[in-house]
Amino acid sequence: MTAALRLGLLGAMALLLSACAAIERRTDDPVVVDDLRLYVFDCGRIRLRSVNLFGLADSDTEVRELAVPCYLIEHGAGRLLWEGGLPSELAGIDGWVEDRGGLAQRLDRTLIDQLEVLSLTPEDIDWVAFSHFHNDHVGAAAAFVGSTLLIQRAEQLAAFGPEATQYFFDPDLYAALADAPRRVLDGRHDVFGDGRVVILPAPGHTPGHQVLFLDLAHTGPIVLGGDLYHFRASRRLRAVPQFNHDREMSLASMDRIEVFLEQRGATLWIEHDAELFDSLDLAPAFYD
């Protein structure tokens, strides 16, 4: 056998083998999904006169404005909405809406309107999860009655129980979800089963507060931190808001999530951090 023939045969065998492998992969192996995407939406803005309520002195930070984002996670196996933003009805009012306590809120466009840039409606969303049930996180919740709610057991008891307002919840915003499909969680939950979209318990701000780990291929691993911290200064000073459900639980969650971030080499996105938010590209742009 000449060297050329031998090489030719080897090449043919290699081709045959790779063709077999390709066929096998198509038929037997699970589909490898590597197109995890994160879309960011502008779900409002909150303006404060003071940060004292957040366990900070006014000299600790100059920040007086909070961003309110919503996020859509698109995975080969389904779509997850994370956070519902400020109440959708605020979008019908021009400019800031101020309350007696000196807190002002504004929402320029509803999340539902913004989903249209992706040609999506709430019916296209398989799962919804909120870091917690305060009004700046469930404002569009009522539109997602056809999605399956992912909620921690402790948050469910508080938000759907008879004393919801004691936890500073506004049940009118999410009453529509009372009969919606629901999956009650007791801690960590791997949403799509491949470790790339994982809900982590971080109670304290509310009884069942949770955060979301995303293993993005190019952006890198991140954690959407809910209200674990409201400000960068909160993280620096381990400041616990006065209105948190449980101070010790809050501190323990901060410690646990910080260890997780360190172990996974993940970046924390403080959701209300307006400086971070203003640096992000909104949908239809995405992070992958």
- Cα distance between residue 201 and residue 105, in whole Å: 28
Spell out where 76-196 has E strands.
78-82, 97-98, 104-106, 127-129, 148-152, 182-185, 189-190
Query: Least CB distance from residue 128 to Zn ion, whole Å?
Result: 16
CB of 245 to Zn ion, least distance (A): 13
Q: Which is nearer to Zn ion, 160 or 168 (CB)?
A: 168
**Chain residues in the site for Zn ion (CB under 5 A):** 136, 227
Query: Cβ of residue 136: shortest distance to Zn ion, in angstroms?
Result: 4
Name the DSSP letter for residue 112: H
Give how far Cα 219 sits from Cα of 35, 215, 225, Å. Answer: 12, 9, 16
Closer to Zn ion by Cβ: residue 36 or 274: 274
CB of 132: closest distance to Zn ion in angstroms? 8
The smaller minimum CB distance to Zn ion, of residues 80 and 270, is found at 270
Q: Given the complex with Zn ion, which of 42 and 136 has the nearer CB atom?
A: 136
Nearest to 141 by CA among 125, 152, 157, 155: 125
**Tokens at 159, concatenated:** 């938000």
Of residues 6 and 247, the one with the C-beta less far from Zn ion: 247
Q: How far is the CB of 193 from Zn ion (least distance, A)?
A: 29
- Structure-token pair, residue 68: 């309110």
Contacts of 47 (CB under 8 A, 6+ apart): 64, 65, 66, 96, 103, 104, 105, 106
